[in-house]
C-alpha cells in the first residue's frame, strides 16, 4: 500500500467515524414528555473487563442511588438522570428539558 492509499484510507475512516457520531448526536433525546419515573437503588455488580493482555477478568462496580425519568419526543425515547429533589418535583406527563434539569440539580 503506498502513501496515497494510506491517506485515502485514513480520510475515509475519519469521515465514517464523524458520520456515525453525528447520527448518534442528532438522534439524542434531550427534551420531551415524561413517560416513566424510576428510582434505581444503589447496588454493586461484577462486570467482565478486558486486561492489557487481552484476557477478561471480573471487576466489582458500584452504582450509587439514581433518579431517572424516561422521556419521549416524537417516536424517540431517552433517559435523563437527575438529583432526588428535582426528581421529586416531576410527574409523568410533564414536559422536561434534561439540560435544564441538570443545571437546576447542580444548584441544590
Q: Is 39 within a domain? A: yes
Q: Provide the domain limits for residue 99.
A: 30-107
Q: Within a domain: residue 69? A: yes
- Domain count across the chain: 1
47 part of a folded domain:
yes
Q: How confident is the model at residue 99 (pLDDT cuts 50, 70, 90)?
A: confident
Examine residue 8 and state whether it is found in any structural domain, yes or no: no
Cβ neighbours around 86 below 10 Å, total: 21
Look at residue 75 and tell me if it is in a domain.
Answer: yes
In a domain, 49, yes or no: yes
Cα–Cα dist 33/73, whole Å: 7
Q: What is the pLDDT of residues 81-95, one digit of tens each?
A: 899 999 999 999 999
Which SS3 state, helix, strand or coil, does residue 5 take?
A: helix
3-state secondary structure of 28: coil
Q: 73 in a domain, yes or no?
A: yes
Summarize pLDDT for 5-48 with one digit per residue, the tens.
Answer: 888 888 888 888 888 877 766 667 788 999 999 999 999 999 99
Grid cell locating 1: 500500500
Quick check: is 35 in a domain?
yes
Say how many CA atoms lie within 13 Å of 98 toward its Cβ: 20
Residue 66 exposed, middle or buried by CB count within 10 Å (0-12, 13-18, 19+)? middle
Amino acid at each position: 500500500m503506498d502513501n496515497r492509499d494510506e491517506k485515502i484510507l485514513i480520510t475515509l475512516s475519519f469521515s465514517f467515524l464523524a458520520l456515525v457520531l453525528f447520527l448518534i448526536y442528532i438522534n439524542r433525546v434531550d427534551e420531551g414528555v415524561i413517560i416513566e419515573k424510576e428510582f434505581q437503588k444503589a447496588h454493586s455488580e461484577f462486570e467482565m473487563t478486558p486486561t492489557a493482555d487481552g484476557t477478561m477478568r471480573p471487576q466489582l462496580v458500584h452504582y450509587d442511588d439514581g433518579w431517572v425519568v424516561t422521556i419521549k419526543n416524537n417516536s424517540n425515547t431517552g433517559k435523563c438522570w437527575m438529583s432526588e429533589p428535582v426528581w421529586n418535583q416531576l410527574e409523568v406527563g410533564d414536559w422536561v428539558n434534561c439540560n435544564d434539569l441538570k443545571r437546576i440539580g447542580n444548584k441544590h
